[in-house]
Homo-oligomer: A and B are copies of this chain.
Amino acid sequence: MLERMIRRTPRTHGEILAAAARRFAVTGYKGTSLQDIAREVGCSKAAVLYHFAGKEALLAELMAGPIAVLRELDERISALTGTAAQRVAAEGFVDLAVRFRGEIALLRGEFPELLAQPAFAHIQRISERLIEAMTGPDGGQDARVAALVLLAGIAEGCGAFADIPDEELRPALLAIAQRVLVTPAPPPPRPPLDHQHQD
């Protein structure tokens, strides 16, 4: 009887996931309804719920990649201290941001609330440790401000650089990180000629 929406090729898991990512990136997580995603795919809302346990499950699967890398980075940093931790944190986060900029962009600044959800609770703690590491051995207020501005700027901004290939964006962000992070005062007696040294 009702043949208007006949299924010729079944929708795949990944097809829906990609559509969700596209919508989330445009209208944010909260701002995207399951109806929107279904419309993008060309199926019913119920079909989306058939493939995924719920809206949260969609987001969780979308973020699984970057979250795994973030945890890995956290573990690597926790074994370090001082400038070593600072450098690894900055480089690691830049790498992560460049590689997963699509995923990060789709959160759009809804971090605070999304992180409040129990499913992402540990991310909150990791990003705090990341900022602490980026703050560096200096530990002063200026260093803390610099670390947070850098982290937020990269996280929030990297989604806007869709037109820049990875191999160009990464060094650009790394250069910014080197400039912005407060490194401890030059320890050896040395004329502070310029601001660009340290590997």
Contact = CB atoms under 8 A, between A and B. Distances in A.
A76 interface: no
A150 B148 contact: no
Interface residues of A, number: 38
- Most chain B CB neighbours (cut-off 10 Å) among A28, A148, A152, A160: A152
Given A27-B113, A108-B109, A157 B164 contact: no
Given A149-B154, A153-B153, A154-B149, A142 B109 contact: no
Interface stretch (A10-18, A38-46, A62-70, A168-176): A168-176
Interface of A: 27-28, 30-31, 108-113, 141-142, 145-146, 148-157, 160-161, 164, 168-169, 172-173, 175-176, 179-180, 194-196
